[in-house]
Structure 1
Amino acid sequence: MATVMQKIKDIEDEMARTQKNKATAHHLGLLKAKLAKLRRELLAPTSKGGGGAGEGFDVTKSGDARVGLVASYEFTTLTCIPGVIVYRGAKIQLLDLPGIIEGAKDGKGRGRQVISTARTCSCILIVLDAIKPITHKRLIEKELEGFGIRKKDKGGINFTSTVTNTQLDLETVKAICSEYRIHNADISLRYDATADDLIDVIEGSRVYMPCIYVVNKIDQITLEELEILDNLPHYCPVSAHLEWNLDGLLEKIWEYLDLVRIYTKPKGLNPDYEDPVILSSKRRTVEDFCNRIHKDMVKQFKYALVWGSSAKHKPQRVGKEHELEDEDVVQIIKKDFCINIQDKEHFGLGISQFSSTHIVQPNPSVGSILQRT
């Protein structure tokens, strides 16, 4: 690790010595690329000791979603402290991570472990001190940028190319990005790429990590200062000491996690409203619901009965592709389990009649068994 840190320092020193102009733009670009690769190595799992846990904290993932708390307070938390909160029937794992201090991108304050663990979360809470929120916000964003997580200063699509383009132009790139709701991006082409090439890259690299700025200690500032903080995007004011607006924070976390609750209904029984199946709003088909319960349920699936806002009538018979809505009730109907036998005495069964939706051709010597499919 010391070797990688020395390489990073050497490149940073060279970039500081190099003047920025058109003649050195390409050289600086290469240096930035090398720097990004080296910093990515800092986050890569180590290969020591037969497959260790890597650079992140060794915390078993549990629950329906994972939320990480990150702050810039020095050494208030020295390791990852996990917890679980149940909200609207969902089990949400909370990870209190060590604070990101200045120099975290270079390994100080267990910065590499913090970022590695944060990447596994469904949502990040960046906790700011209400007395100096902008200072902490800039510090955290600067350190995150060192790990390749960057907030663009200006909006829009920045399109550059090192070759002559015959397939793509700026308007085509903007149109494709707009289709994916990407409005801020730096796109660089190093070969004569097609629209399909660009789409493949977007599909493979898109990662959405919702973030909430939690401004703590609002009991120590004036109402005028609090009004100024209202201009912060993705912001939630709280006072942990006085327990102010903690319910509002939970509501905002739920909103940013974008989850849906689906209730199960066994045949002949009432729906189970106590233990919903939690799905992401981006993956909420009946098939996703079945896979969440058990991977073999899709193989046994015949159709589903759905009650709720996604159903046109109560109940509606639907297939695996049907998209569910929050608080829908679902009953899964499985395929029939049946046996088709040519020689009953061979199996020692006194069964005289069988019915099935599927028939398997019997083997003349031993008969056949039709299992759930």
Structure 2
Amino acid sequence: MGLEEEIEEIEEEIASTPYNKSTEQHIGRLKSKLAELKEELERKQSSSGGGPGYAVEKTGDATVALVGFPSVGKSTLLNALTNADSETGSYEFTTLDVNPGMLKYKGANVQLLDVPGLVEGAAGGRGDGQEVLSVVRTADLVLFLLSVFEIDQYERLHEELYRNGIRLDQEPPRVSVRKKAKDGISITASVDLELDEGTITSILREHGYANANVTIGEQVEIDRLIDGIRDNRVYLPSLVAVNKADLIEPDYAETVKDRLREHDVDPGEAIFISAEEDRGLDALRETIWQELGLIRVYMDKPGRGVDYEEPLILFEGDTVGDACEKLGGEFADRFRFARVSGPSAKHDEQQVGTDHELADEDVLRILTTK
């Protein structure tokens, strides 16, 4: 039996097994085995080599992956946002390779990657799916592009990403596993767990742990426990844009919103656009900025004053030390202290160290040793 068949067989068994306390351990072992097989399949497919065009170098201040089924308008949107030159047309699979473009907004350079149209089964290797998904995993934000007439595509896309270990709009599980030499598996939890220790232990053993200290800091279900054990999960924010909104009547718009709600997407947070007619794109640019959590830091350069034209772009939560690392050179190696004015400062020209957290539109001056 091949890996694909074994994966399918386990998935069918999981789907057909009712979940209750008596089956919990069995389902936990099945899901653990399933995760192992999927990773083995991914390694096998990666080692056999993929098609051309998927090794994309990350450039700019952040990267956004445009995810959607073929011919939903990704290439048209990329061109509208970035002035890239992507071959477009009313045909499926017109984007054969990953097509990059650069969105310039508020002084930031945001790399947009129009990945080849995802198809169902991509996580299992269909349609160069593994290569496509590997590009998505390296992004800082996933932008789902849906046709206004095909809202149900969202669930299928979301499932493909989930199957490939991409977790959207959630924090990593508060689960820590440390191997030890002996004494079996010890479990420490800060909450009253619903999973029993036998299930947790069987899942860990299925993942190769015979002796380990396990710390759990949240209420976890089987899938989330497995996510916490494995090191191949990525956690990304996501955004939904609904294209071709100019082609529907106002009364149908309510139907579209209802369908979004059915897939747990808040219509108020989705961006309705027409890439062809250049509608809603300003709102989309701003939402991309917000979802990425980017901030602008204006550098006060000795003898030249504050540069408001080309800010240093960082992420929310970044510190003066992160700014030094991005600037490189003498700033990181010869840092003495910094002076900050703006939202993060208690007063103008506040003297701070590398651990000071910066905010959007701060003014930063870095002083170095001679």
Q: TM-score, normalised by structure 2?
A: 0.71
- SS of structure 2 residue aligned to 1:275: strand
State the partner residue of 1:224: 251
Q: Is the 8 A contact 1:81 1:97 kept in 2?
A: yes
Structure 1 residue 36 and structure 2 residue 63: aligned?
Answer: no
State the partner residue of 1:276: 311
State the partner residue of 2:321: 287
Name the CA distance, whole Å, in 2 between partners of 1:204 and 1:39.
Answer: 12
Name the CA distance, whole Å, in 1 between partners of 2:50 and 2:321.
Answer: 32
Name the CA distance, whole Å, in 2 between partners of 1:150 and 1:308.
Answer: 35
Query: More deviation in 222-231 or 107-116?
Result: 222-231
Measured after TM superposition, the shift of residue 55 of structure 1 is 10
State the partner residue of 1:316: 350
State the partner residue of 1:344: none
Q: 1:287 to 1:142 in 2, by over 3 A?
A: closer
Measured after TM superposition, the shift of residue 207 of structure 1 is 4.8
State the partner residue of 2:336: 302
State the partner residue of 1:46: 46
For residues 63-83 of structure 1, the C-alpha deviation after alignment (integer angstroms, 9 at most, x for no partner) is 000000011225242221111
Q: Is the 8 A contact 1:263 1:271 kept in 2?
A: yes
Unaligned stretches of 5+ in structure 1? Answer: 175-187, 337-373
Measured after TM superposition, the shift of residue 151 of structure 1 is 7.6
Larger Rg: 1
State the partner residue of 1:350: none
Which amino acid in 1 is paired with 2:147? D
For residues 69-122 of structure 1, the C-alpha deviation after alignment (integer angstroms, 9 at most, x for no partner) is 011225242221111111111111000011222222321122211211111000
Name the CA distance, whole Å, in 2 between partners of 1:254 and 1:93.
Answer: 12
Structural mapping, 1:12-27, within 5 Å: 12=11, 15=14, 24-27=23-26
Q: Is the 8 A contact 1:56 1:117 kept in 2?
A: no
State the partner residue of 1:325: 359
Name the CA distance, whole Å, in 2 between partners of 1:106 and 1:195.
Answer: 31
- SS of structure 2 residue aligned to 1:60: coil
Could you tell me which of 290, 294, 309 is aligned with 1:255? 290
Structure 1 residue 66 and structure 2 residue 66: aligned?
Answer: no
State the partner residue of 1:356: none
Query: More deviation in 238-247 or 292-301?
Result: 292-301
Which amino acid in 2 is paired with 1:143? E
State the partner residue of 1:214: 241
Structure 1 residue 11 and structure 2 residue 32: aligned?
Answer: no
State the partner residue of 2:179: none
Measured after TM superposition, the shift of residue 56 of structure 1 is 8.9
Name the CA distance, whole Å, in 2 between partners of 1:285 and 1:333.
Answer: 15
Name the CA distance, whole Å, in 1 between partners of 2:127 and 2:310.
Answer: 40
Q: 1:148 to 1:292 in 2, by over 3 A?
A: closer
Structural mapping, 1:159-174, within 5 Å: 167-168=188-189, 170-171=191-192
Which amino acid in 1 is paired with 2:342? G
State the partner residue of 1:97: 115
Name the CA distance, whole Å, in 1 between partners of 2:230 and 2:364.
Answer: 32
Q: Is the 8 A contact 2:296 2:312 kept in 1?
A: yes
- SS of structure 2 residue aligned to 1:189: helix
- SS of structure 2 residue aligned to 1:321: coil
For residues 10-33 of structure 1, the C-alpha deviation after alignment (integer angstroms, 9 at most, x for no partner) is 434555676767655433432222
Measured after TM superposition, the shift of residue 225 of structure 1 is 2.7
Q: 1:318 to 1:3 in 2, by over 3 A?
A: same
State the partner residue of 2:302: 267
Name the CA distance, whole Å, in 2 between partners of 1:112 and 1:316.
Answer: 49
Name the CA distance, whole Å, in 2 between partners of 1:288 and 1:204.
Answer: 28
Structure 1 residue 84 and structure 2 residue 102: aligned?
Answer: yes
By relative contact order (CA 8 Å, sep 6+), the higher-ranking structure is 2
Q: Percent identity, aligned pairs only?
A: 38
Name the CA distance, whole Å, in 2 between partners of 1:66 and 1:314.
Answer: 33
Q: 1:318 to 1:166 in 2, by over 3 A?
A: closer
- State the number of aligned residues: 307
Measured after TM superposition, the shift of residue 332 of structure 1 is 1.1
Measured after TM superposition, the shift of residue 164 of structure 1 is 11
- SS of structure 1 residue aligned to 2:189: coil
Name the CA distance, whole Å, in 1 between partners of 2:168 and 2:354.
Answer: 39
Q: 1:95 to 1:237 in 2, by over 3 A?
A: same
Q: Is the 8 A contact 1:67 1:93 kept in 2?
A: yes
